[in-house]
Amino acid sequence: MSLRTHACGQLRVSDAGKEVVLSGWVDSFRVAGKISFLTVRDRTGTTQVFLNAALTDHCKHLQKESVVQVFGKVNKRPEKQINPAMHTGEVEVEAQRVEILSLAEAPLPIEIREETTTSLDKRLDYRFLDFRRERVKAIFMIRSKIYTAFVHALEKHGFIQVALPKITESGVESGAEEFKIPYFGKTASLAQSPQIYKQMFVVSGLERVFEIGPVFRAEKSHTTRHLTEFTGIDFEMGFIESEEEVMRMAENVIHDVWAEVKEKAKEELQILGKEITVPTIPFPRVSLHELRKVLAAKGKIIPEDDDPDAAAEIMIGEYIKEKYHHDFVFALDYPFTKRPFYHMRPADDPSVTKSFDLIYRGVEIGTGAQREHRVDVLRQQCELKGLDLDKLPAYRDIFRYGAPPHGGIGLGMDRIVNLMLELGNVREGIPLPRDPDRLTP
């Protein structure tokens, strides 16, 4: 038998007269003479419970966040006692029995109030308590809906979800940011990207694949947007003519995701006081060369062989918002010196790549490109990077037996959540973030 018949946020006037069983955490306990009022909370909301003198005495040792089971009858509140701030504010439960399932210790190590003054670092130490705040819970309900919306959008466009390895040989990506781990007498790495495997399964005949999963970077960055473990949203598609098809797919997927979240997370967005603007299609497209000129006019110089830094991306976001009234921009034509060897180069200008960054509200949230599928050209581009393709046989062999032109993009889920909800720090939108200083809980 379940410990409850109804959820705490479920009861309405239509339930008056029903015998119910509620279970949840003590949100508040207020004694008024010989009687008392208990507010019980679960993830759906709260219900006020009336306790008579005997039950008040029984519950006198209750502390906030203790777990209780309440047996009682639903009553309609008198007009003057209705609380419009609660979904259940027109009713209360008259308790007949209260079982104390777990007593909480006092004091609590962090504040559970919505307007807490507890630091983020301290809240992360006690994340399981922090999640009991309605605002925090709303963030992660929305995050779950963002994940689901990406799956819906990608499947709608014919992509097949694949589960790809996270323990790999050191390989295609730069070794400088790899987490090395012992592996039965060998040295393995935690995957920095599913890149090699995305391409493998496009070439396998699946043609369109995606994965939403963990990515690891041994990057000693202490910013509000960097992590050592994050969630990547990666897709790859075959039989493309150019990187433009990848950009069109990305903007269509993002449009669909934002629209679904706007529709399905109304209550959570209201709790956070946020509105989602569904982006118009197409997104602006501006070459990196043009953006450098815009930045230079504002006093920010980006060398020709370098990428925009965080400050430059913010300025780009402001420029795009002012000129195009848009939150997104594809920055095009990144130099080959700053891109991996497997990014295709245009025949008319081999100094750049057929790649792009996607910037959202002044922060890069993704990188995409058309990949080089011709094994002879891949070999040449490896040599230009000081690499030997034959030392990457698992990657080389993908292209030896018939590989269609293809491309894709990798997006950062955590940055998307942070920027969409304007949280101010990527760690606010991750249950248990990992950075150079945090390995627990």
Is 23 within 8 Å of 42 (Cβ atoms)?
A: yes
231 is in an annotated binding site: no
Please list, in sequence order, all residues whose beta carbon lies within 8 angstroms of the beta carbon of residue 46, skipping any fewer than 6 positions away. 8, 9, 27, 39, 40, 86, 88
248 is in an annotated binding site: no
As given in the structure block, the two tokens for residue 325 are 């009234």
The C-alpha torsion from 294 through 300 and 303 to 304, rounded to 10°, is: 0
364 is in an annotated binding site: yes
As given in the structure block, the two tokens for residue 155 are 């499947």
Is 87 within 8 Å of 110 (Cβ atoms)?
A: no
Residue 384, classed as helix, strand or coil, is helix
Q: What is the CA radius of gyration of the chain?
A: 27
How many CB atoms are closer than 10 A to CB 119? 10
225 is in an annotated binding site: yes
Cα separation of 343 and 370, whole Å? 6
Please list, in sequence order, all residues whose beta carbon lies within 8 angstroms of the beta carbon of residue 326, skipping any fewer than 6 positions away. 279, 280, 283, 284, 320
Residue 122, classed as helix, strand or coil, is helix
Is 398 within 8 Å of 389 (Cβ atoms)?
A: no
The C-alpha torsion from 162 through 434 and 129 to 258, rounded to 10°, is: -50
367 is in an annotated binding site: yes
Please list, in sequence order, all residues whose beta carbon lies within 8 angstroms of the beta carbon of residue 424, skipping any fewer than 6 positions away. 224, 418
412 is in an annotated binding site: yes
Cα separation of 176 and 227, whole Å? 16
218 is in an annotated binding site: yes
173 is in an annotated binding site: yes
- Strand 328-332 with 355-360, pairing: antiparallel
Phi-psi region of 294 (alpha: psi -120 to 50; beta: other; left: phi over 0): alpha
Cα separation of 2 and 15, whole Å? 19
277 is in an annotated binding site: no
As given in the structure block, the two tokens for residue 290 are 């043009």
400 is in an annotated binding site: no
* Distance between start and end Cα atoms, the chain: 33
132 is in an annotated binding site: no
What residue numbers does the annotated binding site for ATP cover? 217-219, 225-227, 364, 412-415
What residue numbers does the annotated binding site for L-aspartate cover? 173, 217, 367, 371
What residue numbers does the annotated binding site for Mg(2+) cover? 364, 367
What residue numbers does the annotated binding site cover? 173, 217-219, 225-227, 364, 367, 371, 412-415
